[in-house]
Chains A and B, each alone.
Chain A
Amino acid sequence: MLSKIKSIALNGLNGSCIEIQTDISNGIPEFEIVGLPDTSLKEAKKRIKAAINNSKIEFPNKKILINLAPANIRKEGSCFDLAIAIGILIAMGKIPKINIEKLETTIFIGELSLDGKINRTNGILPICIKAKEIGIKTVILPRENAREASIISELDIKPATNIEEVIKYLNQEKEIPKFINNQYIFNEKYNMDFSEVKGQENVKRALEIVAAGGHNCIMIGAPGSGKTMLAKRLVTILPQLTINEAMEITKIYSISGELNEDGLIKNRPFRMPHHAIPISTMIGGGKNPKPGEISLAHLGVLFLDELTEFNRNTLEALREPIENKEIFINRLSGNYRFPCNFMFVSSMNPCPCGYYGDEERECKCSPQEIKRYLNKISGPLLDRIDIHIEVKRLKVENINNKTNIETSKQIRERVNRARKIQQERYQKYGINSNSELTTRIIEKFCKLDKKSNDLLQTAFKKMKLTVRAYEKILKVSRTIADLELKENIEFKHIAEAIQYRNLDKYIK
């Protein structure tokens, strides 16, 4: 007898509908799966056989052939176990009262364990999104994945613990109630705040500009000056995630298997990979490509602490993703596309010993050593960083200074306002923030009056800034003007923006 069941195979972030066809015929006992399965799928045979036997149903001693159609798409992972097992049971005629019409709009996801229990799998959210698109109404899935799937409220989510429960449901003996997440409230919660950082007003100001314009930035400072602490709090002043953005992020985390119990990701991601990270983990890769750190930081912050310690190749690999905001990974098994629209934030010491320019500790490095150290960061990468911030160590006497420290909420209000202005202004140009401005649009929106222009010229001559600083200063001053709700860039905006080019002054 023949049975057909629908399921969804994932290729990167995108799913495609596949049909699981089961044929049981008389002949020499055999169990085979065809249709480009990978090893974990081939092993499904053993799991399914044991799971069915242990669910008090005798596995048929017949010739069983499973075809995963269309046969030209590669299928991987253990999420088809449940679907194949149900296909066999239907073909065996063990579920006599099954509603064939309803089966057309139902998919099964889940890995089987030998005792018939259904285990959780990765990538549930992208599967459910695809399911909704192709008109599926019911999804039967592992209980542990129910919360994540319930984000797609249009689907009838039916969580099951073991295979017997599914059989009873299909045979219309026992109904499985739709899973509704009552506690599901979309509000973010960060367990940190900018008001916890004492002093460092100039860094906070710079980070406010960074957040408002979506600029990439680098913090330069002695060990223990609080670079990491400040960077971690950057996400708390970025605009709140929209539900669509949250889904996009959750999709990426879902296929990487990094989702926690909560289901939907509500906070902007903050990723801080160690500097020994290999390229494939940074940009994504592997035999069956998984998203890398840059994709996991999508719509959030990628923070590289001690930038100069990173492998040069790893850093250079970041250049295209920063520009394109997505990464293509080509493998034998196909081409994968992962989004990676992140803010690039990094930190480094000003010199090898870390104390160049510090008031209390003497720097032991020679100018030559400092130059060599700073040159570890390539020009092209530096080209992509708009703002350089100098972070000083806080003096002990200022630790208890409690003069009105702003909270993240207050700063965020200003950031939101500036972002809104930018979105309205750039609607026609397909960009969202000042950081994405191209040379042509800069000419249009960053006009300077004579006084500001003269100031910029003098600054270039006096401070020996490099040419690459020119556009950066314009972009940053545009953001400063937006923060003040000014239509035109003014003299003082340019003057402030000039101070955020510290590295250009070092590297000559």
Chain B
Amino acid sequence: MSKNIIEYTSDLYPKRLKLIQNPPVKLYVEGNVENLKQIGIAVIGSRTNTQYGEKMCKRFVKELVEYNIIIISGLANGIDSIAHKTCLKNSGKTVAVLPSGLENIYPEKNKELAKEIIKNGGTIISEYESNTKADSKKFLERNRIIAGIGIGTLVVEGGYRSGTSVTAKYTLENKKAVFCIPSSLENPKGIITNELIKKGAKLVTTTKDILENYKEITFCKRKTESKDILFDIPLELRKIYININDTPQDVNEISRKTGTTIEETIYKLTILQLNDKILELPGQRFIRNKQ
């Protein structure tokens, strides 16, 4: 994949971006250019997210990817990275909009992630010369592109007066929909989402709420092969596996439910875990891994 420069006049220039108030004159693009034209949703949020934010971001991104929707974000720490990573994990395509030149990836920590994105058919774009450094002004300018490329913006969480609120504002200026995940009133990172909902943004509890908003577009779900889930699980491990479901359970609960001794449960869980049949959550709790 080579690096391209797309002029405003080019056919490749994303149409939705042309419609915003001050579209960039040219775009520096690395990776798959096609992604910019596809249907995409911007997923944005705080750089210092909470556990809740991470959980919700993963849940929504995973489901959006299932409908072949491109995930657009800013490669920053926190929610942005989580959105990109979850998208890659579920083999979706993602677009990262940089606040700096393509040679000068910001934050530096996410260089590896940027490579991963390109490797998996994603795209990295920027409106700046390749060696431009990031600064606070560019963050805000970048946000208008994030809002510009997508057909809507999903706000996961954000603090008061943050970059997140700016992106949401741009989205509304472009007459696109803003979707907000509700949050606890006690959550300091939930201020923006709740505030936006108050002002009329769409409150979403499932991905369907987002899709409903676009009656003119038909979303198709990716096909998944159905197979007997117990097929490749060794006989001796089945008893434990059957008792693990989507509610996280700890070792003691599983042991009690299956009537196996604690040492046996522990070792069988390890094997199931190493075979990617179950997942371990923080606090040594286990759920089924839905691949």
Report whether B266 and A202 are in contact in the complex, using a CB–CB cutoff of 8 Å: yes
Query: By the criterion CB–CB under 8 Å, are A201 and B262 in contact?
Result: yes
Determine whether the beta carbon of B270 is less than 8 Å from that of A458.
no
List B contacts of A364 (CB < 8 A). Answer: 50, 187
A362 to B56, CA, bound (A): 14
Closest to A205 in B: B262
Residue of A nearest to B271 (CB): A495
Contact between chains at B252 and A199 (CB < 8 Å):
yes
From B49, B248, B252, B255, A366 is in contact (CB under 8 Å) with B49
- In the complex, what's the smallest C-beta–C-beta distance from B9 to chain A, in angstroms? 43
A496 near B: Cβ within 8 Å?
Answer: yes
Enumerate chain B residues within 8 angstroms of A363, measured Cβ to Cβ: 50-51
Instruction: Kindly state whether residue B48 has any CB partner on chain A within 8 Å.
Output: yes
B250, closest chain A residue (CB): A392
CB nearest neighbor in B for A202: B251
A479 to B215, CA, bound (A): 63
Q: List A388-430 residues whose CB lies under 8 Å from chain B.
A: 390, 392, 401, 403
Of B30-38, B138-146, B278-286, the segment with at least 4 beta carbons within 8 Å of chain A is: B278-286
- By a CB distance below 8 angstroms, the chain A residues around B66 are none
B51 touches which of A205, A356, A401, A496 (Cβ 8 Å): A356
Q: Which residue of A lies closest to B270 (CB)?
A: A495
In the assembled complex, A444 has its CB within 8 A of some CB on chain B: no
- Which chain B residues in 228-268 approach chain A with CB under 8 Å? 248, 250-252, 255-256, 262-264, 266-268
C-alpha spacing A201/B51, complex, angstroms: 28
Q: At the interface, yes or no: B214 with Cβ under 8 Å from chain A?
A: no
Residue from B52, B263, B264, B284 within 8 A of A357 (CB atoms): B284
Kindly report which residue of chain A lies nearest to residue B275, judged by CB atoms.
A458
Contacts of A356 in B (CB 8 A): 51, 282-283
Are B283 and A390 neighbours in the complex by a CB distance under 8 Å? yes
CA distance A360 to B143 in the complex (A): 37
B274 in contact with A462 (CB, 8 Å)? yes
**A499, CB-defined interface residue at 8 Å:** yes
Answer yes or no: B269 CB below 8 A from chain A CBs: yes
Q: State in angstroms the CA–CA spacing of A458 and B51 once bound together.
A: 28
Q: Are B271 and A359 in contact (CB under 8 A)?
A: no
B270 touches A496 (CB 8 A): yes
Q: Does A459 contact B (CB under 8 A)?
A: yes
Contact B262 A498 (CB under 8 A): no
Please name all residues of chain A whose beta carbon is closer than 8 Å to the beta carbon of B63 when the two chains form the complex: none
Q: Which residues of chain A in 438-485 are interfacial with respect to chain B, using CB atoms and an 8 Å cutoff?
A: 455, 458-459, 462-463, 480
Q: Which B residues are CB-close (under 8 A) to A496?
A: 263, 266-267, 270
A459 to B274, CA, bound (A): 6
Contacts of B51 in A (CB 8 A): 356, 362-363, 365
Inter-chain contact A392/B266, CB cutoff 8 Å: no
In the assembled complex, the Cα of A358 lies from the Cα of B50 at a distance in Å of: 14
CB neighbours of B248 from chain A (8 A)? 359
Given A366-B49, A367-B54, A359 contacting B270 (CB threshold 8 A): no
- By beta carbon, the residue of chain B nearest A493 is B267
Cβ B285 vs Cβ A366 within 8 A: no
Which residues of A approach B to under 8 Å, CB–CB? 199-202, 204-205, 350, 356-359, 362-368, 390, 392, 401, 403, 455, 458-459, 462-463, 480, 492-493, 495-496, 498-499, 502, 505
Interchain Cβ contacts under 8 Å between A and B, 22 examples: A199-B252, A201-B255, A201-B262, A202-B252, A202-B255, A202-B262, A202-B266, A205-B262, A205-B263, A205-B266, A350-B283, A357-B285, A362-B52, A366-B50, A367-B54, A392-B250, A392-B284, A480-B263, A492-B264, A496-B263, A496-B266, A499-B270
New A-B contacts (7) at CB < 8 Å, excluding given A201-B255, A367-B54, A463-B273: A200-B252, A357-B281, A390-B283, A392-B283, A493-B267, A495-B268, A495-B270
